Structures are given as C-alpha cells and as structure tokens.
Amino acid sequence: MKARVLSAFAFSLALAGCGYTHTFSRISEVEPDLPAGVPLVGQWTPENAELAGKDFPVANFAGASLQMTETTYAFAGDRGTYAVVSLAPPARMDIQGVEGPNAGRLIPAIYQINGDDLTVCYQLGPGVRPKDFTSPEGSQILLVHYRRH
C-alpha cells in the first residue's frame, strides 16, 4: 500500500509538470454545442506512457486508474474537471485540477479514442497544447495510452 501511494505521488508529480504551475485562463477555442463527453466516461487503466521522450513505466502508476464522468476526472488523489473544447482531430480538452497536486492548474491536452483505447497527450509545462501524439525529448509532454475496463 505504501509503495502504491508513493508511486501515485510520483505520477502526480509528473502531472504537476516537475514543479511548473499553469495558471492561465481557459483556452477560448471552445466549439459551440459540443456533445457531452460520454465516450470518455468510464474507468481507464494506463497501459504505457512516455514523458519527455522517455518511457514512463506503467509501474509508476501503482495500479491507479483514471475515472472519468461526463465532466470530472479522478486519478490517484488528483481530482478535477475537464471540458472537451474541440472534436476536430486531434480532439482537444482542457483539464482543470481542483484537488491534489494539480489544484488550480489548467492542463491543455489532446486525445483520441479508438474503441476501448484512449490516448491522451498532456502539456505539463509552459508550452502550447500538443499538436500530435508525441512526447519530444526535453519537453514536459506526457503521452499516456489507456484501456477501458
């Protein structure tokens, strides 16, 4: 149990962008009349991840899974809301941390769903929203591949 908590904390630190704090306002590219985020609803288990161009072992997630409702997320003590801002490929979402290491942060991300597979690319640093599903060396971009339960 202690190892799981420490690993979840390590992942949360990665999500916290290695100490960098995003505090910008919501990105103004929201498309009107987007359908609810129903395809994102569910429990997602990380299968593999990459951070700054390097493998980020799934073992670091300590068995945690991503829980998503139509508007909220929870992952190992990190909780908040998300809003889909565009469905045009790559689909874009804004993630707003409410509780945990990302409280008060807005994390721009892109995502794609293929059946029960979800790929999310998070910008954890001061850069712009990722444009594609890569995690370049030296970046603070976290790329995670999830599988729905």
Q: What is the pLDDT of residues 54-70, one digit of tens each?
A: 999 887 888 899 999 99
Before 46, cis peptide (omega within 30)? Answer: no
In a 3-state reduction of DSSP, which class is residue 140?
A: coil
**What's this model's pTM, rounded to 2 decimal places?**
0.78
**pLDDT digits over 111-133, tens only?**
999 999 999 999 999 989 999 99
Q: List the structure tokens of 142.
A: 């976290």
Q: Where does residue 138 rank: exposed (0-12), middle (13-18), buried (19+ CB within 10 A)?
A: exposed
Residues in the chain: 149
Fold category of 2-148 in CATH: Lipocalin (2.40.128)
Q: Domain ranges for the chain, please list them.
A: 2-148
